[in-house]
Chain A
Amino acid sequence: MRDRSMKKSTKKSTKKNEERGPQKAAGMPVKFTLFLIPLAAAMCFFGIYRGETAVILSKAITICLECIGLG
């Protein structure tokens, strides 16, 4: 019974989907993401290698007067 009503609703949904017009098709392929991940990781490691973490640490271990509204 439930199965039949589901088929019915699926038909109905297909019709409604057609009415809604063209849907956004497939998103970006995973391959593209897998290509970007090493790039992002390389950026991250280059920043560490260049000493950016030291800049961040020096800022973060003192009270940031701007952040708290005094500076």
Chain B
Amino acid sequence: MDNISERKKTTRGREGGKIKRTSGGQGLRKIVQAGWAVITNGYMKAFSPDGPMIYQGPLKQVCTPGMNCYSCPGALGSCPIGSMQAVLSGRSRDFPFYVVGYLALIGLFVGRFICGWLCIFGLIQELLYKIPTPKLRVPEGPDRILRYLKYGILLVMVVGLPLLYRNEAGAGEPFFCKYICPVGTLEGGVPLMILNETLRNVIGWLFAWKFLILVICIAASIFIYRPFCKYICPLGAFYGLFQKVSLVRMRHDEGLCVDCGLCAKKCRMDVDPRVSPNSSECIRCRACIKACPMSALSMGIGSSDNVTEAEEGGKVV
């Protein structure tokens, strides 16, 4: 018994050093998600009838780490995906060094941890999934193909088209924001339409299209866990590229694992942490860590995905 509780507290690293395990369950995660949503969208003046429509201060030079539309009345920061397209679609077709470097830094430190802990749209999808209805799991074949869709969206709609397309006036367009992003519709479009009559009067087919995408996303979120994150989100795709190299990593201890499969069963992103603890689909919500009765899974600063008992003792196999 003592042995197990001891192992629960710490895990040994490759060189025998201890890796500290972070604490906190799903309740804490919800508090962090909600708190972050309030902090980054805390410009209350915009919601009053006499106030400005959106925040226009210098904080908007800074990107938020998660999806957060800069046209949301309360938004204090900028959306990284919108910012990336703003730079790419400029007349000089500049490479967005600031946004790419910033996102790469976050990815290199924590990978997709942001998706699980600091994304407002992720929180909304999770809350919708809590509605008690029968839940669906996309069959493995289509699911595997659909997971690549977000990388295609990142390449084509976020990078390719904003970089290459120019209208007659020589200006580019943020294709992802304009034709797909349901976050912009929910956080920016809907509140601004409610608060402003002038904007309501110019609603056209594009708003109807984007609203339809939003409705599909909301409806799908009730039955499928985080469908936008799994299949569409270009920011999740970008962070996913860093999962295997990020400083904070998941570790699976093969020596302790009894193959009960509880971790894979508990994972709503459909990752099997025994096979791929640092899968690009993992949002590092820690549900698998909490589920593991043998404490075979942990999260910390480490260099290997899977460790064996021999490695734990400091001997690399």
Seen from chain A, the residues whose Cβ lies within 8 Å of a Cβ on chain B are: 2-3, 6, 9-10, 12-14, 16-17, 20, 23-30, 32-33, 36-37, 39-48, 50, 52-57, 59-61, 63-64, 66-71
Contacts and interface: CB of A to CB of B under 8 A. Distances in A.
Nearest to B306: A23
A56 B60 contact: yes
B254 to A, nearest CB: 5
A47 B108 contact: no
Nearest to B278: A27
Nearest to A40: B104
A60 B82 CA distance: 9
Contacts of A54: 61
A12 to B, nearest CB: 6
Given A55-B87, A64-B188, A68-B188, 11 more contacts: A10-B258, A14-B255, A28-B244, A37-B105, A47-B97, A56-B60, A56-B98, A57-B61, A60-B61, A63-B54, A69-B209
Interface size of B as a range: 35 or more
Interface of B: 1, 3-4, 14, 53-58, 60-63, 69-71, 78-79, 82-83, 86-87, 90, 94, 96-102, 104-105, 108-109, 173-174, 177-178, 181, 184-185, 188-189, 192-193, 199, 202-204, 206-211, 244-247, 249, 254-259, 274-276, 278, 294, 301-306, 309
Contacts of B185: 68-69
B215 to A, nearest CB: 13
Nearest to A34: B247
B101 A40 contact: yes
A20 B210 CA distance: 45
B304 A25 contact: yes
A66 B173 contact: yes
Contacts of B56: 61
15 contacts: A2-B4, A10-B309, A12-B259, A13-B254, A23-B254, A25-B305, A28-B245, A33-B108, A50-B97, A55-B87, A56-B86, A67-B79, A68-B199, A69-B211, A70-B206
Contact of A27 (B57, B188, B244): B244
Contacts of A66: 173-174, 177-178
A67 B1 CA distance: 55
Contact of B82 (A10, A12, A67, A70): A67
Contact of A2 (B1, B189, B254): B1
Nearest to B205: A69
Contact of B98 (A12, A28, A44, A70): A44
Contact of B104 (A3, A36, A53, A63): A36
Given A3-B3, A44-B101, A23 B207 contact: no
Contacts of A48: 98
A45 B174 CA distance: 24
Given A3-B3, A27-B304, A36-B108, A9 B258 contact: yes
B247 A33 contact: yes
A27 B277 CA distance: 10
Contacts of A39: 104
